[in-house]
């Protein structure tokens, strides 16, 4: 009776190959106060058949066109009833059946809880990855150094994602949350999710960095951006040089 309700939001689009495993990962949790919300972007494959197969285990689902990943996440926020919200992507799974029980069976004195992850490579080998200590916005100045799927946000601090962004809204979202007066994080030192690498951000490298640059400057300013330029690495520096030269009409091919 005293266990908080956990809202798990899964965003999907043509995810028939990976969605069932994610749903089963939620169903198998030993914690018994969960609502699973699925926001589908109008899939045309077998995704809806899988959702209907597990309809009795899903608290709410909808399938309709949206304006991208973060617009869909915002739809999930609007319908979530839970005390805590977690965004578990189709294709990612909780690392064990005990994850939610270990996080929430005792009172949590914080407004954000998070943990580590198991990185799953394309050949299905795994590597344990420890999250940074999330103490302030400076902890994640250089990017999303805490896995988004391994974060649980208390309803009191949840804010909408910037749906104008395609790849970096979750990072901007977390930085903004760390700046709230009520922000208090609790790091659990065990894997929360099995996270598969090779997502959209990795594929669309140039867009990823362009959004990173723009969000960094918006959140931290030009001065810190250029003071930390050595952090970016050779490939990112080439992107910066290309952007700079384009201001003067030069076209750089790389």
DSSP readout, 34-82?
EEEEEEE----SSHHHHHHHTGGG-SEEEE---SSHHHHHHHHHHH---
More confident residue, 145 or 200: 145
Report the pLDDT averaged over residues 109-115.
97
Residue among 197, 195, 187, 199 at smallest CA distance from 95:
195
Whether 97 has a pLDDT exceeding 90, the answer reads: yes
Shared-domain flag, residues 122 and 223: no
Q: How confident is the model at residue 227 (pLDDT cuts 50, 70, 90)?
A: low
pLDDT in tens, 195-216: 988 655 445 667 777 888 899 9
* Within a domain: 252: no
Q: Name the pLDDT band for 251 (thresholds 50, 70, 90).
A: very low
Q: Is the pLDDT of residue 182 over 90?
A: yes
**Domain assignment present for 1:** no
Residue 166 parent element (H or E): none
Whether 254 is in a domain gets the answer no
Q: Report if residue 84 sits inside a domain.
A: yes
Same domain flag for 92 and 195 = yes
* 63/91 Cα distance (integer angstroms): 18
Q: What is the pLDDT of residues 67-90, one digit of tens each?
A: 999 999 999 999 999 999 999 999
Q: Which pLDDT does position 236 carry in this prediction?
A: 53
Helix axes 69-79, 169-178, angle to 10 degrees: 50
CA distance 208 to 147: 16
- The predicted pLDDT at position 205 comes to 66
pLDDT at 208: 79
d(CA 89, CA 234): 31
Same domain, 53 and 79: yes
Residues 182, 212, single domain; the answer is no
Residues 215 and 138 grouped into a single domain: no
**Per the structure, how many domains does the chain have?**
2
**Is the domain of 172 the same as that of 222?**
no
- Give the residue numbers spanning the domain of 238: 203-246
| Cβ atoms of 28 and 95 closer than 8 Å | no
Q: Do 135 and 74 share a structural domain?
A: yes
What value does the mean pLDDT take over residues 164-176? 95
Task: Name the pTM for this structure.
Answer: 0.87
Same domain, 108 and 209: no
- What is the C-alpha to C-alpha distance for residues 182 and 201, in angstroms, rounded to an integer? 30
CA distance 39 to 77: 10
- Half-sphere exposure of residue 223: CA atoms within 13 angstroms, side-chain side: 0
Report the pLDDT value the prediction gives residue 37, as an integer from 0 to 100.
Answer: 98
The pLDDT tens digits of the residues spanning 15-67 come to: 999 999 999 999 999 999 999 999 999 999 999 999 999 999 999 999 999 99
Residue 147 shares a structural domain with residue 24? yes
* R_g (Cα) of the chain, nearest Å: 19
Let me know if residue 253 belongs to a domain: no
Q: What is the CATH number of the domain that holds 13?
A: 3.90.550.10
Shared domain for 154 and 226, answered yes or no, is no
Same domain (yes/no): 51, 175: yes
Q: Which two tokens stand for residue 7?
A: 């809202």
Weakest-pLDDT range from 42-46, 146-150, 248-252: 248-252
Whether pLDDT at 96 is above 80: yes
């Amino acid at each position: 009776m005293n266990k908080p309700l956990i809202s798990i939001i899964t965003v999907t689009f043509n995810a028939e190959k990976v969605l069932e495993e994610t749903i089963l990962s939620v169903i198998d949790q030993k914690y018994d106060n969960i609502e699973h919300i699925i926001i589908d972007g109008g899939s045309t494959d077998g995704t809806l058949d899988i959702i209907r197969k597990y309809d009795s285990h899903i608290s709410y689902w909808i399938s309709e066109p949206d304006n991208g990943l973060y617009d869909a996440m915002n739809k999930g926020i609007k319908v979530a009833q839970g005390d805590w919200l977690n965004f578990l992507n189709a294709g990612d799974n909780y690392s064990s059946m005990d994850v939610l029980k270990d996080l929430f069976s005792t009172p949590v004195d914080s407004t954000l809880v998070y943990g580590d992850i198991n990185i799953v490579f394309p050949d299905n080998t795994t590597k344990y990855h420890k999250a940074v200590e999330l103490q302030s916005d400076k902890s994640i100045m250089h990017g999303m150094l805490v896995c988004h799927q391994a974060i649980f946000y208390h309803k009191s601090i949840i804010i909408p994602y910037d749906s104008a962004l395609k790849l970096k809204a979750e990072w901007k979202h977390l930085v903004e949350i760390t700046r709230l007066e009520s922000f208090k994080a609790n790091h659990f030192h065990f894997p929360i999710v099995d996270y598969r690498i090779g997502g959209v951000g990795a594929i669309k490298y140039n867009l990823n960095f362009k959004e990173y640059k723009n969000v960094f400057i918006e959140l931290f300013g030009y001065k810190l951006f250029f003071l930390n330029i050595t952090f970016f690495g050779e490939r990112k520096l080439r992107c910066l040089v290309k952007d700079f030269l384009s201001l003067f009409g030069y076209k750089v091919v790389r």
